[in-house]
Amino acid sequence: MFGLLIIIVLSTYTGGIDQNIYHGYDNNLELSESWQMYNSDFDSSNVEFIGNWPFGTSYAVSYDSIRDLAFCGSGGGVYILDMTDPSNPVEVSEIRSRGFVNDIFYDSNNQKLFIACRSAGLEIWDVSDSLNPIKLSYYSTLGTVYGVYVSGNYAYVADGDSGLRVLDVSIPTNPVEIGYYDTPGTAYGVFVLGNYLYVADGYSGLRVVDVSDPSNPLEVGFCYTSGYFRSVFVSGYYAYIAAAGGDFRIINVNNPNTPYEVGYLTFIGNAYEVSYLSGDYVCVAADWKGLKVIDVSNPSMPTEVGQCGTPNYAYGVYVSGNYAYVISSHAGLRIIDVSISTNPNEIGYYNTPSNVEDIYVSGNYGYIVGGGLKVIDVSDPTNPQEAGFCSTSTGYDNGIFVLGNYAYVTDGGLRVIDISDPNNPKEVGYCDTPDWFWGVYVSGNYAYVAEIIYLRVIDVSEPENPVEVGSCYISDTTTGGVFVLGNYAYLLDECVGLRVIDVSEPTNPQEIGFYDTPNVAEDVYVLGNYAYIANGASGLRIIDVSDPSNPIEVGFYDTPGYAYGVFVIGYYAYVSDGNSGLRVIYVSEPTNPQEIGFYDTPNVAEDVYVLGNYAYVAHRNCGIQIYRYLGVGVVEEPEVNITTGDISLNSTIFSLSNNNTTLTWSNLPTEGKIEIYSVIGAKYYEKDFSNLDGDLSWDFSQSIISRGMYFYIVTDNNMNTIKRGKFGVID
């Protein structure tokens, strides 16, 4: 890991170093292999992906009518369900993709599953053995993969702002792009019939593309009408369109060169996906209205004849036989009997996880909230597994804190859940309050809860009977960020930012200070004399709270995304930065924080918790992603020396305050040089030690070096590495 850290840092900041010189290993992969594996899909630096439990909001579904299998998208994964009894779906296995599953196409001829994974591109899976699906390959496109349709040896990909991409998938382990057409809008849905491809192209309407030569797709016609086109299904002479704004539109495509609208139906809500039923009927997934059945016997006057509500927004639908398989965002797969088109009825369902709002990691388990409390076994970080689940009252839980055998969850009020058996968590206590709870922090016998405009203090000494004992009014709406250290609670609100509350008397908490941050303060972590604030569009703010009555900002780092969460360990601040993923900020000098690592994660990074060598990132729609920053817990590879004696440094810890500022290396060879780098790759020192007597000293008291970790590299005149080492500088 030490060698790997150096090469990544140096190649990032100094223009590249010979990999044969700074050769490192990670998980038994050579550096070149590791670099390719972890950076081909997602932009990153100094941070590697370890594993994920990716399940969350559902958007896509497909079906194998021969084997009665449903493929149910869930966040960044797919559940394979046995549908032999439609009223009782049974999980067979699961697929873990790397990005949010926006669309699924099942090729029944080859039993291959093609998954549109948004920013992670297209993935191809072999599902011939439904118990053991195998990932065959992936293809990273230029844009965002929203839709996919496979015909013959070709996969046609709706690639967002990058239009249509055509992939040759005749060898599923090696998809190759052979053609593309840059549509004028945002390619969202795609359908192929014969030699023509139909693209639902956002605000640019329906585009008709001739794909008789897949390597040279050509647009031959288009039809623009109002609405944002999301999905298209073609049967006979007509293309049926689901569009945002509650529009269902019918377009005559008998002449592909001159498609024209013949009819439409407007209803409340958005139309997300359309699927053909049979005869004169189509089904539409219609937002919060659920499933709608439309009679299209008269294309100029489509009529709604049936509806079946779903517990949450209906985003996707696939019809097979007498059943419509409807994806209902936070409520998973709903099976609806549509044999009587005028009276569709739900007969079964399979609940999938919901959004992940907050995360806490303790021991071998990760605890996440969003649609209830889920316990994830992370003892093997490369393969986390769900261990247990506890439903909460509303399912709109926002915060969690774990202490001992209890998890404290905010869901309308404060819920106390016994997690002594992680496989069977049970709610044992509840405290209701007048308004909605957000974040929670537990210290000693008290839970400090951020309510809409209050900090509530709840006595949890008896977990079965939590009781509010004090409160502090806050004039603005809290955002849920709360952290307690010593006698102070640090609370965040939307307008002012940081508020400091004296909780030395829990029954009478009093605000004593505040600091107005420049944007919406979302999360806070306090370490020593500093409060680190994830401050939305203003990134990371560092506030000196050594005088709690007068907090002062001393430094900031403007992250590229929207900072939702922060966790600080040592000199490292880990920020969950929305669409910009995980950012690692070096804060040894609070007045000058610097980013030293990042991973552009596949979905919105909502929260982060760090334990040991791993950062556990809660992704709003994609469960847990686990990462490791390569600068923490580094391990040196075996040392090689070309001299008879061992090169040694007189100490590994040096103090600025005690004037212990002289580094002395002994037993150096007769020729070569020493280089010293900071953890972010800045070169501090370089010295040619040729013709010395074997020792070299450097007094760095007058240099710009400051507290933190540093690395030295000894090379001979041929740039062969002789010795690597590290040392720390303290105040």
pLDDT tens track for 327-341: 998 888 999 999 999
Amino acid identity of residue 31, one-letter, is L
**Which CATH superfamily, name and number, covers 639-731?**
Macroglobulin (MG2) domain (2.60.40.1930)
373-377 vs 385-390, strand pairing mode: antiparallel
Nearest to 263 by CA among 247, 246, 244: 247
Q: Where does 121-205 show beta strands of DSSP type E?
A: 122-126, 134-139, 147-151, 154-158, 164-168, 176-181, 189-193, 196-200
**SS percent in the chain: helix, strand, coil, step 5:** 5, 55, 45
- The one-letter amino acid code at 210 reads D
Task: Calculate the alpha carbon distances from 467 to 454, 470, 478, 716 in Å.
Answer: 16, 9, 21, 69
Taking the CA atoms of residue 649, residue 650, residue 652 and residue 658 in that order, the dihedral angle to the nearest 10 degrees is -140
| Domain 57-350: assigned CATH number | 2.130.10.10
Helix (H) or strand (E) holding 210: strand 206-210
Tell me the two tokens of residue 267.
């209803």
Tokens encoding 383? 């393969």
User: For a pLDDT cut of 90, what percent of the chain falls above it?
Assistant: 62
pLDDT at 639: 41
Q: Is there a contact between 691 and 20 (Cβ–Cβ < 8 Å)?
A: no
pLDDT of residue 601: 86
Question: What global pTM score does this model have?
Answer: 0.79
Taking CB atoms within 8 Å and a gap of at least 24, the contacts of 426-435 are 426/390, 427/390, 427/392, 428/463, 428/464, 429/460, 429/462, 429/463, 429/464, 429/465, 429/466, 430/466, 431/458, 431/466, 431/467, 431/468, 433/468
Range(s) for CATH 2.130.10.10 in the chain? 57-350, 358-629
Q: Are 708 and 586 in contact (CB under 8 A)?
A: yes
pLDDT for 675: 84
**DSSP one-letter string for 441-494:** EEETTEEEEEESSEEEEEE-SSTTS-EEEEEEE-SS-EEEEEEEETTEEEEEET
Q: What is the pLDDT, as a whole number, of residue 645?
A: 55
In Å, how far are 93, 367, 401, 418, 448 from 404, measured between CA atoms? 33, 13, 10, 9, 16
pLDDT score recorded for residue 699: 85
| Angle, CA 60 vertex, CA 276 and CA 145 arms, to 5° | 105
pLDDT at 27: 27
- What is the distance between the alpha carbons of residues 641 and 506, in angstroms, rounded to a whole number? 61
Task: Write out the residue limits of the CATH 2.60.40.1930 domain(s) in the chain.
Answer: 639-731
Q: Which residues in the chain come in under a pLDDT of 70? A: 1-41, 393-397, 435, 631-645, 678-683, 704, 719, 731
Rounded Cα gap, residues 174 and 125, in angstroms? 12
Q: Are strands 247-252 and 147-151 parallel, antiparallel or unpaired?
A: unpaired
DSSP character for 19? Answer: T
The pLDDT tens digits of the residues spanning 593-645 come to 988 888 988 888 999 999 988 999 998 888 999 998 876 433 333 444 444 45
Return the exposure string of 451-490: e unless at least 16 CB atoms fall within 10 Å of the residue's CB, then b: bbebbbbbbbeebeebebbbbbebeeebbbbbbbbeebbb
Alpha carbons 372 and 356: distance in angstroms, whole number: 10
Question: Which CATH code for domain 358-629?
Answer: 2.130.10.10
Whole-angstrom distance, CA of residue 618 vs CA of residue 230 = 28
